[in-house]
Each structure stands twice: as structure tokens, then as C-alpha cells.
A = this chain, B = another copy of it.
Amino acid sequence: MPPRTLTVTLPPATANRNYPIHIGRGLFNQTALYRPHLISRQVLIVTNTTVAPLYLDAVRSALTDYQVNSVILPDGEQYKDLATWQQIFDVLLAQRYGRDCTLIALGGGVIGDMTGFAAASYQRGVAFIQVPTTLLAQVDSSVGGKTGINHPAGKNMIGAFHQPAAVIADTDTLMTLPERELSAGFAEVIKYGLIRDLDFFNWLAHHADGLLARDPALLATAIERSCQHKAEIVEADEYESGQRALLNLGHTFGHAIETGTGYGNWLHGEAIAVGMVMAADLSHRLGWLTNEDVDRVRQVLTAFQLPITAPLELTAGQMLDLMAVDKKVLQGKLRLVLLTALGAAQVTSDVPMEQLRMTLASASVSRGIAWLT
């Protein structure tokens, strides 16, 4: 398949802010994809210990005309913290990078979020390019400008909205992605189906085996359709004052799982999968979904090798405590994204505590966490 390019269209501020999302095989070393977005010759590649040996040289080979430095951070959600983030500035300043430099985030969601927030903050804002190497980053986190780091008490609590200058998604990286990471990425793909595209949800259910087998054509379709959804939502509501919140289906639950079990033990997509089951279960308890709908959500997630039950070590009370620090809390009220049907979602701050407790209690029993071991 030839590469495809989508465009995220945003209102201009001090400059044009539209940006391309390039999706395809063998894109890493295509200088022409980077060049239009590099302002000066100063380029810093931020990556991690897992990705660097695989792809750093390929990206560097596209940038031989530039002054390229790199920072190789430790790999994992547990390093998405202030101390690790500071290492990016140490290099930028040691190399005397100016306001016209460009950062390149080469890695998954953690690298993208940290690099984006460093770009947002260095000298009060420099440009950056997302080069996502995981399915999750290619379909979700690299697009839309949400950047940030974790606080011990809450996921992504420190950050900024800062749009990338371009997204370069080389799908060849998915061939080396560990199975667990591939499945985790599909949680966010399935999410688009659940909140706004029932056809896509059914298509994913039908092609689960082929997608997990990494059929390139199927993967390209899944990524492109996901990015289309993400771009449409971000274009309509960049700063999440409305419908962008729907992208957080399962995330209030999921963030509590990630924080409560210790960053890095659950992958983000795994926690989101369980969170989506909880959201579906709660939607059923409110009479918005049928029991069959909820089962269907469980079945499709399971087909993608994703967990559907909460970690045994977290009680419902602990989950509630952790959920109370979520970014969607307003006026002290928890706001949750729930499903009004498969393919349609809504934000509500009107969830009876009793129903929520029952959802949490029922999700944490039974099957255990055998899938984690």
C-alpha cells in the first residue's frame, strides 16, 4: 500500500497549526517528511532504551544535513516523571538549542507525551514531531496535542496542550512490537468504535485474528480510520471543553488502575480495556445498554487478548479514591463517559454512587489476573 496522509486542521494562532499525519511502511528515513517541519538545523531525538537500538539510526539517516542529538530515556510508564523529563532539558541546554529547534519523539505514548510536554515548555514552546512506534501511539496519543507526565498521585496530571508539527507513523514498527503492546494498542482502536462508529467496531470484531496476525492491509485500515476519528474530534474540540471528553471512555477507571497498581505494571491500553468494560457495565446498570451489549464488549476485547476484569489487589474503595483525582472531576463531582448504545457515548456527572460501587465490585471479582502472568 502507498503511504496515506491525513491532515489535522486547526485554527491558526501566531502561525498555521495544521499538520499532516503520514501513515505507511518505510517512512522513517524519508527526509522529505521531516524537512518541511524543521525550522533550524538543531534537532533533538528523544527515545528510549528499547526503541533506540531498533530505529534511532534509521531516523538519524534521514537527517544527515542537521545537527542531531539524542536523549535515550529508560523505557516504561514508571519513568514518565519529572526527574526523567528533566533529562531532556539537560541535553537541550548543554547543546545550546535555541527557540527554533525541533524535538522528535521516537517511541510510544510515554515518549510522545514527555517529549511533547518538553517541547511545550522549553523556552516557553518549541516545535516537535511525533514519530510513534507503537500501535497505541499511532492510533491515539501521537495525534491531538495532549502532552504531560504523571504525578505519583495521578496520571498525566502535569502537562500541556501542544500540537505536533507532524506525525510520521511508520507501520513497519508494528512488526517488531511485542504481542502484549499490540493488544494494548487495540484497546484505543476499539474505543473509537464504541464511542462513535459501530460499523468499525463490528469490522474490528470480524478481523481480530487478522489484525493480531499483523496483516499489513488490515493494520493500515485500522490505523487510518482511528486517526480520522481522532483528527475529527480534535478539530471540533481541541481543548476538551465538549465532545473530546468522549475519547476518555474507560480512562477514569483505567487511570485509577494504572496509578493504583503502580505505573508500569499495567499497560495503558490494558487498563483502558478494563475501564471500558466498567463503563459498559455501569451503562447497563443505568439502563442505557443491554446485557448483550456488555457481553459483546467483553467478547471483542477478549478476542484482542485484552483483560476485562480489574486487578485483584485494588478494592472498590481504593478505585473510588483514585478516581476522585481524575481530570474530569468538576465542582467535586465525578464525570464519566458512558455508552448510550454500542457506537454512541455521552459524558454524565449524574452517576448514582451505589451503581458505581456495584460496577467496581463486580469487575474486580472472578477471573483473576492470570492473563498478566
A331 contacts which chain B residues (CB < 8 A)? 40, 98, 100
Residue A225 lies at the interface, judged by CB distance under 8 Å to chain B: no
A122 contacts which chain B residues (CB < 8 A)? 157-158
A109 contacts which chain B residues (CB < 8 A)? none
On whether the beta carbons of A330 and B99 are closer than 8 Å, the reply is: yes
The A198-251 residues at the B interface (CB cut-off 8 A) are: 239, 241
Contact of A93 with B329 at beta-carbon distance under 8 Å, contacts A120-B160, A121-B160 already known: no
On whether the beta carbons of A124 and B146 are closer than 8 Å, the reply is: yes
Shortest Cβ distance from A90 into chain B, in angstroms? 8
A327 contacts which chain B residues (CB < 8 A)? 98-99, 123-124
State the A residues within 8 Å of B (CB).
Answer: 13-14, 40, 82, 86, 89-90, 93-94, 96, 98-100, 117, 120-125, 146, 148, 151, 153-154, 157-161, 239, 241, 324-325, 327-332
A325 contacts which chain B residues (CB < 8 A)? 93, 96
On whether the beta carbons of B159 and A98 are closer than 8 Å, the reply is: no
Nearest residue in B to A42 (C-beta to C-beta)? B332
Nearest residue in B to A93 (C-beta to C-beta)? B153
Q: Could you name 18 residue pairs across A and B whose Cβ atoms are closer than 8 Å? A: A89-B158, A90-B153, A93-B153, A93-B154, A94-B153, A96-B324, A96-B325, A98-B329, A98-B330, A98-B331, A98-B332, A121-B121, A121-B148, A121-B158, A122-B157, A122-B158, A124-B327, A125-B160
Shortest Cβ distance from A72 into chain B, in angstroms? 20
On whether the beta carbons of A89 and B151 are closer than 8 Å, the reply is: yes
A324 contacts which chain B residues (CB < 8 A)? 96
A40 contacts which chain B residues (CB < 8 A)? 330-332
Q: Considering the chains assembled together, what is the distance between the CA atoms of A330 and B125 in angstroms?
A: 14
On whether the beta carbons of B160 and A160 are closer than 8 Å, the reply is: yes
On whether the beta carbons of B157 and A93 are closer than 8 Å, the reply is: yes
Q: Considering the chains assembled together, what is the distance between the CA atoms of A93 and B327 in angstroms?
A: 11
On whether the beta carbons of A89 and B120 are closer than 8 Å, the reply is: no
On whether the beta carbons of A161 and B124 are closer than 8 Å, the reply is: yes
Nearest residue in B to A240 (C-beta to C-beta)? B124
Q: Considering the chains assembled together, what is the distance between the CA atoms of A160 and B148 in angstroms?
A: 13
Cβ-closest 5 pairs across A and B: A93-B153, A98-B329, A123-B327, A124-B159, A121-B158
A328 contacts which chain B residues (CB < 8 A)? 99
On whether the beta carbons of A121 and B151 are closer than 8 Å, the reply is: no
A158 contacts which chain B residues (CB < 8 A)? 89, 121-122
Nearest residue in B to A327 (C-beta to C-beta)? B123
Contacts A93-B151, A99-B327, A100-B330 known; list 5 others, CB within 8 Å: A14-B241, A93-B154, A120-B160, A123-B157, A125-B161
Q: Considering the chains assembled together, what is the distance between the CA atoms of A13 and B123 in angstroms?
A: 22
A146 contacts which chain B residues (CB < 8 A)? 124
Shortest Cβ distance from A239 into chain B, in angstroms? 5
A90 contacts which chain B residues (CB < 8 A)? 151, 153
Q: Considering the chains assembled together, what is the distance between the CA atoms of A3 and B268 in angstroms?
A: 53
Shortest Cβ distance from A71 into chain B, in angstroms? 14
Shortest Cβ distance from A163 into chain B, in angstroms? 13
Nearest residue in B to A321 (C-beta to C-beta)? B96
Contact of A86 with B82 at beta-carbon distance under 8 Å, contacts A146-B124, A330-B100 already known: yes
Nearest residue in B to A328 (C-beta to C-beta)? B99
A120 contacts which chain B residues (CB < 8 A)? 160
A117 contacts which chain B residues (CB < 8 A)? 121
On whether the beta carbons of A159 and B121 are closer than 8 Å, the reply is: yes
Contact of A96 with B329 at beta-carbon distance under 8 Å, contacts A157-B122, A158-B121 already known: yes
Q: Considering the chains assembled together, what is the distance between the CA atoms of A86 and B85 in angstroms?
A: 13
